[in-house]
Every structure is written in structure tokens, then in C-alpha cells.
């Protein structure tokens, strides 16, 4: 709604400025993609793919899906357009709506918006730290406090299987006392058990084997380097060995930013490394890392924080009575807008009294009154709305008389 859009514009503008200052360039991808793209990238056993996709058939019977996230579409678009060249880092950002058929609740919507970044072409942990630093500076510029960065490693295809075996072994003896969802997860995606919020399950999850004790030397070294860089940047973070992401494409270091100001849906940002996705989607092997921020969740925090988002004020409102005066009003609107002065007019043929009420409602700084008298004198009455003072000015000199 118009009253709320100021804060949306503020978030989007701040995101653009932050990302562009870090040399990310905008990419815009279609709202829908072939269903197969998401099934292959996000993972066929994930909640998103099994339960949450808006999937439909087009007129030729092809299966399409409203994008539930933007990483896979960005990879697809980059592969198709040959954007990734060896030994070159490509940095992209996006802003737009995503769709997930989730149970709606505070902070969880079926159409929601993300701003996010993806960086392709480097497997060096310095770019993991860069990505996290960009997220943190976005939150700083938005004036958000009390956010916590959680980081973890989910390992790579070389070391994850042995960690999953450990998890299966550990949970195998306890699964009888755990929830039905976890029973399914044990079979298809044991890592997701770590994400279960059920109290009975939590008792066991808290003591489960930690990934950092099982991942391979390379994943561990990369994680430790990212940690070292973050410390060097003086970014506060916590290592959270229960952090798992809801998408299967991640490899190695992953992270989330959590707010203390939200309820159950407290993640404002999620991301990490996904070094195999480009190749899996038909490109050359290209390491990658990125994140996405949930805009609705940011706005929820901003609303609660009483931070004033200055809304734009109209400069000039024109109250012109009669056909000739309306004509002059239209001409003035063109002139003023050409000079960058925001202006509007009462477009209803009615009395001066009614027009002045409209001028009040518009909250403009100045009102220009034009009636038969003024037309004769080639003048307008310039009223400063704050103190009600009025003076006559020549119609040709209006712009110069406005102290904006």
C-alpha cells in the first residue's frame, strides 16, 4: 500500500547502493522457470521441492514453476549467456519476488521478496568473508541492530557422506522417540534433522555429532580461513554447528543472519558456498558463493524499531479555479516538473474552498492559487502552507520564488 511503500523503497535503494558500492551488477531473471531447474538444484527431497513449489503446466504441457529462490535462475541465466569466464570473478545482485507454498504465518509468506548477491569464479575464502561483510554492511546501513551472524560448514560431496553416516548411526538408536518428520529425514536427508524445532527431537539434536569434527581437510581449512578473515574484519559471528540450510546445493561454508527481534521465522539472511551447482546445471566447474535477504522480515524489524523513514513531500499544489486557470495550472505543472519540482493540481472542477481543502490534504509545501483575478494580472498567489502567509507573484517567475 502507498503508505508502506516508502520503507520498501528505502530497503531496495539501500540494497542497490550497498551492492553496487561492492561492484555487484544487477541481473533480472524471469519470474518462472522450467520446474526441472529447481528440482535439480535445490534438491528433490527438500521441503521446497517436495511441498512448496507453485508448479503448473503451460498450454503445451510443459511444467513451469514460480521461482522459489533466485540462485538457480541466476546460474541458469549465466550459463546460457556465457557470463562465466575462467579466472574471472563475476558479481551479480538481484531484487524481486519469490514464491513458496508454505503455511503462512508472521514473517512467512507465499509471495515474498529477496535482495541477494551471487559471486562466481573464486574458491578462495576471502570472497566468503567479502560476501558476509556485504550482508553486514547492508544491515548496518539499514540501521538494524541486534543481528547475529551464524556460520558453519556443511562439507562437500567428498566428506559429507561420512558425516551423514555418523548422523544416521547416532540418530538410528533414538529415532523411535523422535517426530514423524525426522523419521522421514533419517532416511532421505539426515542433515535436515538438525533443523527440527520439535522439543522431543531437540534433546537428541543438541548432542549430535558436529560437522566440523567430520569434514575433510580442505573444507575445514577453508572454513578456518573464512573465520580468520571475519575476525580481521571485526565482524561478530558465532560458529553454529547445528546450522543447516534448506537447500541441497551448498558445499562448505554456509551462514545465516538471525534477528532477536522476530518470532519463529528469525532468519533475515541465508547463504553460503555452492561450488558444484554451475557444473550441475551444464556450465564449466565454477566455484560460487552468495546470500539472499528476506525483505518482509527486514521491514518488520524496521517497523518495530521506530526508525523514521522520511517520506517524500510534495513541493507544490495548484488550486486553479475555472477553465483558463486550469490551463495555466497544467502549463505550470509541466514547467515545474521539468525543473525537478514535484507538483500536482486539483483536477476536479469545484470551488476554491474545496480546492484549498485538497491542498491541505496533499501536504505540499506551497500552494499556487489561480483564479480569474490572477489570470487578468498574469499572476498567481503563492501560499506557504506551514505559516499560511500569501503573496502575489508573476506567473512567469513562480519557480524562482519557491524557496525549496
Q: Is 33 in the site for ligand HAM (CB under 6 A)?
A: no
Per CB under 6 A, the list member of 246, 252, 283, 287 interacting with ligand HAM is 246
Q: Which member of 40, 67, 76, 100 binds ligand HAM (CB under 6 A)? A: 100
Residues 6+ apart with CB under 8 A from 217: none
Which residue among 24, 67, 76, 116 contacts ligand HAM (CB under 6 A)? 116
CB of 42 to ligand HAM, least distance (A): 8
Check: CB of residue 16 under 8 Å from CB of residue 95. yes
15 contacts: CB under 8 Å, gap ≥ 6: 93, 95, 115, 138, 293
Nearer CB in complex with ligand HAM: 116/329: 116
Q: 40 or 297, CB closer to ligand HAM?
A: 297
HSE (side-chain half, CA atoms, 13 Å) at 112: 26
Indicate the residue among 54 and 170 with the shorter CB distance to ligand HAM: 54
Neighbour-count burial of 173, counting CB atoms closer than 10 A to its CB (0-12 exposed, 13-18 middle, 19+ buried): exposed
In order of 117, 170, 383, the CA distances from 354 in angstroms are: 50, 76, 16
As given in the structure block, the three cell numbers for residue 41 are 538444484
Question: Is residue 46 at the binding interface for ligand HAM, with CB under 6 A as the rule?
Answer: no
Query: Residue 27: left (phi > 0), alpha (psi -120 to 50), or beta?
Result: beta
12 Cβ contact partners less than 8 Å away, ≥ 6 residues apart:
95, 115, 295
CA distance 142 to 298: 9
For cell 507465499, name the residue: 110
Nearer CB in complex with ligand HAM: 116/155 = 116
Please report whether residue 283 would count as binding ligand HAM according to CB under 6 A: no
In angstroms, what is the minimal distance from the CB of 267 to ligand HAM? 4
Rounded least distance, CB 177 to ligand HAM, Å: 29
The stretch near ligand HAM (CB under 6 A) out of 78-86, 290-298, 327-335, 371-379 is 290-298
Q: Which of residues 10 and 291 has its CB atom nearest to ligand HAM in the complex?
A: 291
Q: Which of 12, 47, 102, 324 binds ligand HAM (CB under 6 A)?
A: 102
Q: Is 120 in the site for ligand HAM (CB under 6 A)?
A: no
Task: Work out whether 374 is an interface residue with ligand HAM (CB under 6 A).
Answer: no
296 binds ligand HAM (CB under 6 A): yes
Question: Which residue reads 569434514 in cell numbers?
Answer: 215
Helix, strand, or coil (residue 257): strand
Segment lying near ligand HAM (by CB under 6 A), choices 2-10, 181-189, 270-278, 346-354: 270-278
Contact 70, 93 (CB under 8 A): no
Query: What H or E segment, with its residue span, contains residue 92?
Result: strand 90-99
Write b or e for each residue in 80-115: b if 16 or more Cβ atoms lie within 10 A of its Cβ, otherwise e.
eeebbeeeeebbbbbbbebbbebeeeebbbeebbbb
All three cell numbers of 34: 522450467
Does position 130 interact with ligand HAM (CB under 6 A)? The reply is: no
Contact stretch for ligand HAM (CB under 6 A) within 13-21, 106-114, 152-160, 389-397: 106-114
Closest distance of CB 197 from ligand HAM, Å: 15
Residue 269 within binding range of ligand HAM, rule CB under 6 A: yes
Q: Which residues bind ligand HAM (CB under 6 A)?
A: 69-71, 100, 102, 107-109, 112, 114, 116, 118, 246-247, 267-272, 290-292, 294, 296-297
Amino acid at each position: 500500500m502507498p503508505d508502506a511503500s516508502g520503507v520498501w523503497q528505502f530497503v531496495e535503494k539501500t540494497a542497490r547502493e550497498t551492492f553496487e558500492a561492492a561492484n555487484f551488477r544487477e541481473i533480472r531473471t524471469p519470474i518462472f522457470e522450467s520446474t526441472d531447474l529447481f528440482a535439480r538444484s535445490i534438491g528433490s527431497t527438500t521441503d521446497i521441492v517436495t511441498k512448496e513449489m507453485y508448479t503448473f503446466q503451460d498450454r503445451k504441457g510443459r511444467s513451469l514453476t514460480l521461482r522459489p529462490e533466485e540462485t538457480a535462475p541466476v546460474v541458469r541465466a549465466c550459463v546460457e549467456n556465457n557470463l562465466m569466464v575462467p579466472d574471472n570473478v563475476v558479481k551479480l545482485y538481484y531484487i524481486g519476488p519469490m514464491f513458496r507454498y508454505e503455511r503462512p504465518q508472521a514473517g512467512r509468506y507465499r509471495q515474498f521478496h529477496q535482495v541477494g548477491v551471487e559471486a562466481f569464479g573464486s574458491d578462495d575464502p576471502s570472497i566468503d568473508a567479502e560476501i558476509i561483510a556485504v550482508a553486514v554492511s547492508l544491515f548496518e546501513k539499514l540501521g538494524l541492530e541486534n543481528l547475529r551472524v551464524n556460520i558453519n560448514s556443511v562439507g562437500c560431496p567428498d566428506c559429507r557422506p561420512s558425516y551423514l553416516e555418523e548422523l544416521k548411526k547416532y540418530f538410528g538408536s533414538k529415532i523411535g522417540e523422535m517426530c514423524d518428520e525426522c523419521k522421514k529425514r533419517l532416511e532421505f536427508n539426515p542433515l535436515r534433522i538438525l533443523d527440527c524445532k520439535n522439543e522431543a527431537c531437540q534433546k537428541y539434536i543438541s548432542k549430535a555429532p558436529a560437522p566440523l569434527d567430520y569434514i575433510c581437510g580442505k573444507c575445514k581449512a577453508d572454513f578456518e580461513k573464512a573465520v580468520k578473515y571475519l575476525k580481521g574484519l571485526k565482524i561478530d559471528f558465532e560458529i553454529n554447528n547445528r546450522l543447516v540450510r534448506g537447500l541441497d546445493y551448498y558445499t562448505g561454508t554456509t551462514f545465516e543472519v538471525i534477528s532477536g527481534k522476530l518470532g519463529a521465522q528469525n532468519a533475515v539472511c541465508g547463504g553460503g558456498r555452492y561450488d558444484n551447482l554451475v557444473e550441475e546445471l551444464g556450465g564449466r566447474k565454477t566455484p560460487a558463493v552468495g546470500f539472499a535477504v528476506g525483505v518482509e522480515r527486514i521491514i518488520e524489524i524496521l517497523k518495530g524499531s521506530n526508525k523514521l523513514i522520511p517520506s517524500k513531500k510534495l513541493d507544490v499544489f495548484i488550486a486553479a479555479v475555472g477553465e483558463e486557470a486550469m490551463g495555466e495550472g497544467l502549463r505550470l505543472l509541466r514547467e515545474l516538473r521539468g525543473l525537478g519540482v514535484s507538483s500536482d493540481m486539483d483536477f476536479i472542477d469545484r470551488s476554491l474552498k474545496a480546492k484549498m481543502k485538497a491542498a491541505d490534504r496533499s501536504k505540499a509545501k506551497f500552494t499556487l492559487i489561480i483564479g480569474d483575478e490572477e489570470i487578468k494580472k498574469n499572476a498567481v498567489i503563492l501560499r506557504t502552507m506551514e505559516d499560511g502567509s500569501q503573496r502575489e507573484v508573476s506567473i512567469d517567475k513562480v519557480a524562482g520564488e519557491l524557496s525549496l
